[in-house]
Amino acid sequence: MSNWQWFHRLGSPRWFYYKTEGWVPWLAAVSGILLVLGTVWGLAFAPPDYQQGNSYRIIYLHVPAAFLALIGYYVMAVAGAVGMIWRMKMAFVVMKSAAPIGAALTFLSLVTGAIWGKPTWGTWWEWDARITSMLILLFLYLGIMALQAAFQSRDAADKASALLALIGTVNIPIIYKSVDWWHTLHQPATLKLTSAPTIHSSMLYPLLTMILAFYIFYALVLILYTRAEILRREGRTQWVIDLVKEEAKKP
């Protein structure tokens, strides 16, 4: 199958729903194992930091959540762009499904950052460039969710949400580069593609495990949200009616 054929098949709600059915248990198992492994490794076996002591361990939740909050916004924005350009309804389904997941991850990032900030900076909140731009990201996610609920027309809601998602992408590089562009309390990035990590391997490996776990968990939750949204949108189609009948027959 060519990439173009795969792309068009992926645009079919029915094909996506049935194709991903077998992925769910595998993604759930792998993400669950990695989450348990990374959590136990990071909280119980990684050594304390020589300056921050044990308070640094919040990074095993904070960093993966922040990573996925940013990546998830791009997923949402790209899906919105695909929906507007190729008028692919599955893309709009993915865009809508990605919004609440991204909002939850952004909220988790802000909360864990506040928990880390209290013993480190002496305050729960600071109008720091990185923190403020992350708060704007949360508002963008919530704004897209609000737009989806505000319009009676699904088509109008999808287009308005996609437009806001695309406009909001300017905030992502600001978040990433804020610690470099402005004087900020937030420490520079621990992991960079252009340089070696600034964290010891005994702390790095459990962090990488948690990041991988979050990526797989994100894929799992996005697929589940998307499958649920497909059933909502396609509820009157014959294939969904037949699916419901088949499920009803099962013991």
Cα distance between residue 5 and residue 44, in whole Å: 48
> How does DSSP classify residue 62?
H
Does the pLDDT at position 125 exceed 90? no
Read off the pLDDT of residues 69-83 as tens digits, 9 standing for 90 and up.
999 999 999 999 999
Instruction: Supply the pTM of this predicted model.
Output: 0.93
Q: What is the pLDDT of residues 144-201, one digit of tens each?
A: 999 999 999 999 999 999 999 999 999 999 998 887 777 766 666 666 655 667 788 9
User: 120-123 — which CB contacts under 8 Å span 24+ positions?
Assistant: 120/52, 120/55, 121/185
Token pair listed for 54 = 């044990």
Class of domain 29-188+199-234: mainly alpha
Return the domain boundaries, the chain.
Answer: 29-188+199-234
Task: Supply the DSSP symbol for 47.
Answer: P
